[in-house]
């Protein structure tokens, strides 16, 4: 049982259909019982170059048979398997003859459904524990006895089903790894997918290659080949519109679509005036001149600034920026169109987390009511009846970057720091003006310029400047100044969900501070944000 105290989300939904183009590929199916780590399991499987999909726990044995996975993983979950109404899997899956491994709650489901007993443990186990191997087999090959594994459970297996044996234990858990080798059924009481589990990645790899006998076919090159084929089959001779932002998702999508359909693709870049210094020019130059992909540049800077001038509430800023983006997008799409398809950079985590696909009742096609590829800022009008083309919806973020590299995208686009849709507008605290935008743009450029010179740009999740709407007294050249402070925000993170402030050298702070104060008119003070997430957030607004 995991440490989560929240009830499983969307677990009662109808079993999901597989993503397009996956039926003929080797895959591992993950049945999700509400674990906070289900998505991470899928990522770890894919790191072995084998495809994986997360499916609801209610997916039936017949549906799994049609998917024909090489293996099945039952995820953890927040429930106790003996509680009334606790989620269970279709009992027929045990007759499929497919290798199955249960993780924590998934292991308890396996034990209970096959005739064993699960009860509340005498000693709950959370955090790190040493795993002592009693029998090394294919699953535990090259996993050292005594390895640290990450435990998170209050229940334990008391009686094993017939045919099962114990492979490993911890000090508090006699049945930490169990197996029925003849039927290729396994259970682990810990979370091998988390980084805290030493040898966890090896165990997962063993399950994928040695138990399930998979081949490493999930590669960027194979994805591009398959995606190009699917795009051509879906789009035919129709035209596709893509809102290009310059981020890795939309840039990769543009390359992929152009490779598939060429001039049938129209890329639109809406410059709202809130981008970082030099980025709009760099984007247009790379796409038009280096890669010969046409981009329709829309200069809407004055329109957006007029919408947010005098507005200090951050949510109102986002709302106005989102509304104006929709207005500009609608006008320009009508001018450049007509278009049959809207391309969106939907990624696999969006697919996992969202079951609210919008279906056109006449055609059965998904239609766009959100624009994700540029701003994440709200819904498109219902009368824009695009069909969606979402070639990246099988990929995680790190996989998008691998695909981008395989297609030759420049490193400065592929490894660009995340940037919020509203851009600098939410890095100016309070009211926005043309003057404040220019001050922040220049200060932000200095931050990025210096860490690039030091060769440490990619050491950070994000590195940027924030402008505060206050002034403080300073002295420059024997003259009194009354100017803005700039906040430096440099953070380290794995995924942006949590983050820590970066312990950068004082010498670097001094260089950045001196440059900002001397080169950016209107600034006389620089401070450093030493707040982690939580309790703070990455952005200030």
177: which residues sit within 8 A by CB, 6+ positions away?
A: 131, 133, 139, 140, 166, 167, 168, 169, 186, 187, 188, 189
58: which residues sit within 8 A by CB, 6+ positions away?
A: 11, 12, 13, 14, 15, 87, 89, 90
d(CA 537, CA 541): 8
Residues with a known catalytic role:
104, 191, 193
Return the closest-CA partner of residue 371 out of 401, 333, 340, 343: 343
- 496-512 per-residue burial string, b: 16 or more CB within 10 A, e: under 16: eeebebbebeeebeeeb
Return the closest-CA partner of residue 497 out of 95, 153, 134, 40: 40
d(CA 247, CA 123): 48
Return the closest-CA partner of residue 179 out of 214, 142, 140: 140
**Pairing mode, strands 71-74 and 27-32:** parallel
- Residue 193 CA, distance from chain mean position: 16
Structure tokens at 304: 């957006």
> How far, CA to CA in Å, does 122 sit from each of 110, 154, 167?
21, 8, 21
d(CA 456, CA 463): 11
**Tokens 């805290």 found at:** 196
- The rounded radius of gyration (Å) of the Cα atoms in the chain is 26
Strand partners, 120: 155
CA 132-136-142 angle, 5° bins: 85
Structure tokens at 109: 């489901």
d(CA 158, CA 161): 10
Cβ atoms of 168 and 140 closer than 8 Å: yes
Cβ atoms of 357 and 212 closer than 8 Å: no
Please state, as a whole number, how many other Cβ atoms lie within 10 Å of the Cβ of residue 166. Answer: 15
Q: Specify the 3-state DSSP secondary structure of 428.
A: strand
Return the closest-CA partner of residue 198 out of 103, 106, 134, 131: 131
d(CA 254, CA 241): 10
CA trace torsion 391, 394, 397, 401 (10° rounding): -60
The phi, psi pair for 438, rounded to 5°, reads -65, -40
d(CA 427, CA 422): 9
């Amino acid at each position: 049982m995991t440490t989560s105290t929240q009830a499983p989300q969307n677990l009662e939904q109808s079993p999901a259909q597989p993503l397009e183009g996956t039926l003929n590929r080797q895959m591992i199916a993950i049945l999700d019982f509400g674990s906070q780590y289900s998505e991470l399991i899928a990522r770890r499987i894919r790191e072995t170059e084998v495809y994986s999909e997360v499916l609801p726990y209610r997916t039936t044995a017949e549906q799994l048979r049609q998917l024909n996975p090489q293996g099945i993983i039952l995820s953890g979950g927040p429930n106790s398997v003996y509680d009334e109404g606790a989620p269970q899997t279709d009992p027929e899956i045990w007759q499929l003859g497919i290798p199955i491994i249960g993780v924590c709650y998934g292991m308890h489901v396996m034990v209970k459904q096959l005739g064993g007993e699960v009860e509340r443990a005498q000693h709950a186990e959370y955090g790190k524990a040493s795993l002592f191997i009693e029998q090394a087999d294919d699953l535990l090959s090259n996993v050292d006895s005594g390895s640290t594994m990450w435990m998170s459970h209050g229940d334990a297996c008391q009686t094993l089903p017939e045919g099962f044996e114990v492979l490993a234990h911890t000090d508090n858990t006699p049945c930490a790894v169990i197996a029925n080798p003849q039927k290729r059924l396994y259970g682990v009481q810990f979370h091998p997918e988390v980084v805290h589990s030493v040898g966890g990645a090896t165990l997962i790899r063993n399950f994928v290659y040695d138990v399930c006998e998979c081949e490493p076919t999930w590669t960027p090159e194979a994805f591009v080949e398959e995606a190009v084929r699917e795009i051509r089959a879906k789009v035919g001779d129709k035209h596709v519109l893509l809102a290009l932002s310059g981020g890795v998702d939309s840039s990769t999508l543009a390359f992929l679509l152009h490779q598939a359909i060429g001039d049938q693709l129209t890329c639109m870049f809406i410059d709202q005036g809130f981008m970082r210094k030099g980025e709009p020019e760099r984007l247009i130059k790379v796409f038009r001149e280096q890669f010969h992909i046409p981009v329709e540049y829309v200069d809407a800077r004055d329109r957006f600034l007029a919408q947010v001038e005098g507005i200090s509430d951050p949510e109102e800023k986002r709302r106005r920026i989102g509304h104006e983006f929709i207005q500009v997008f609608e006008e320009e799409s009508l001018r450049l169109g007509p278009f049959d398809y809207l391309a969106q950079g939907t990624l696999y985590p969006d697919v996992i987390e969202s079951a609210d696909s919008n279906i056109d009742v006449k055609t059965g096609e998904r239609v766009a009511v959100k624009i994700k590829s540029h701003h994440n800022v709200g819904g498109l009008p219902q009368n824009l009846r695009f069909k969606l083309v979402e070639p990246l919806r099988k990929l995680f973020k790190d996989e998008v970057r691998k695909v981008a590299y395989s297609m030759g995208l420049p490193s400065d686009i592929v490894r660009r720091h995340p940037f919020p849709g509203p851009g600098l507008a939410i890095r100016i605290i309070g009211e926005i003006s043309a003057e404040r935008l220019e001050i922040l743009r220049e200060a932000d450029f200095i931050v990025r310029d210096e860490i690039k010179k030091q060769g440490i740009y990619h050491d950070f999740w994000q590195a940027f400047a924030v402008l505060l709407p206050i002034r403080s007294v300073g002295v420059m050249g024997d003259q009194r100044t009354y100017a803005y402070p700039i906040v430096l925000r440099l953070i380290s993170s794995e995924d942006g969900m949590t983050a820590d402030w970066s312990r950068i050298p004082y010498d670097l702070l001094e260089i950045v501070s001196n440059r900002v104060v001397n080169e950016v008119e209107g600034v006389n003070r620089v401070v450093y944000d030493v707040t982690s997430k939580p309790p703070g957030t990455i952005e200030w607004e």
